[in-house]
Amino acid sequence: MSEEHRINIMEDIPAVTTAGAPQDTALPYASVTERFVALAIDYGIIFLPLQLLVWIIYKCIGAYLEPWQLIGMAVGMNVIFIVYETVFSSNGRVTLGKNLVGIAVVNKDKTGPISLPRAFLRAVGYYISAFLFFGGFVLALVDDRKRALHDIFGGSVVVQLREREAWEVWAVRALGALLLVLFVGGLYQSFGGRDWQNKYKVRQADNFLQNIALLEEGHKLRYGYYTNDLLRLALLSGDPVQFQRDMNKVLSTGKGSIRIGVKDNVYKISALAKDHNKTPVYFTNKI
């Protein structure tokens, strides 16, 4: 049986001081950017294939699955991630992401790797850090040893295993910035960011139609009748150029997208909002 290969993450630590404490210059702390890139790599190699598998299963037999089975698949993915992080963050091992970036998890004194139980607490701590609106991760930005909440749970710190060339530092920073943008964008969409934006644009369109309705009432007072001529209403606004700009900003202005129907003392204004779905909006003075 072949011997298990482990990276000796402590081989470059200088001797401890006479007081018995490790020198603080040994193995500098990993930057937040390096840690984020490593976590993104580990997330990608664990979660993305599993999510693809679950998506295929759902598309093929989703109609026949019970709710508890779907929940079980979601829980299973997270259990696999916890096991992966636990095993490859303990006893001198490193995850693939950390290995590629050149960082490793060690105990808080930087005197050796963390144990399996500590690594398990640290892995579970990822979820606590995330559930606190990702505040546990933000802690690494202000902690003097760049520890996130899950590092505190595991009694650990994350250190660099090697010196960086200038190009490598900038490459990791650039990749980290790109992944961060994608991550924030994903969160925005996951929490209904597009829905909020669409609702805001629909509300803007409704408000503009109400402004057109006020111009209709002004036209009726001045001329004695309602009009379906949008240009007359724009002129009545006192600034037709600004009226056109405001309309283009909140309404879809394609051919026939804005209509005003007038019959006797009743009018109806219809248009399409400038949201993703081009939602129809209406206003009528009919009670």
Residue-range definition of the domain harbouring residue 233: 194-284
Clarify whether residues 205 and 138 are in a common domain: no
Q: What distance separates the 2 farthest-apart alpha carbons in the chain?
A: 98
- pLDDT, tens digit, for every residue of 181-230? 776 666 566 555 567 778 888 999 999 999 999 999 999 999 999 999 99
The mean pLDDT of the chain is: 84
54 closest CA partner among 72, 81, 79: 72
Shared-domain flag, residues 71 and 116:
yes
Does residue 256 carry a pLDDT above 80?
no
Please tell me whether residues 151 and 118 are part of one structural domain. Answer: yes
Q: Would residue 10 count as lying in a domain?
A: no
Whether residues 96 and 184 fall in one domain:
yes
State which of 165, 191, 217 marks the end of a domain.
Answer: 191
Bigger pLDDT: 162 vs 214:
214
More confident residue, 18 or 111: 111
Residues in the chain: 287
pLDDT tens readout for residues 121-139: 999 999 999 899 888 998 9
41 with 181, same domain: the answer is yes
How many Å apart are CA 111 and CA 280, to the nearest integer?
65
Q: Is 140 a member of any domain?
A: yes
Round to whole Å and give the CA distance between 258 and 287. 22
Is 21 contained in some domain? no
Residue that finishes a domain, picked among 191, 209, 235 = 191
Confirm whether 3 is domain-assigned.
no
CA 186 to chain CA centroid, nearest Å: 4
Domain stops at, among 191, 206, 235: 191
Q: Is residue 14 part of a domain?
A: no
Instruction: Answer whether 0.75 is exceeded by the pTM.
Output: no
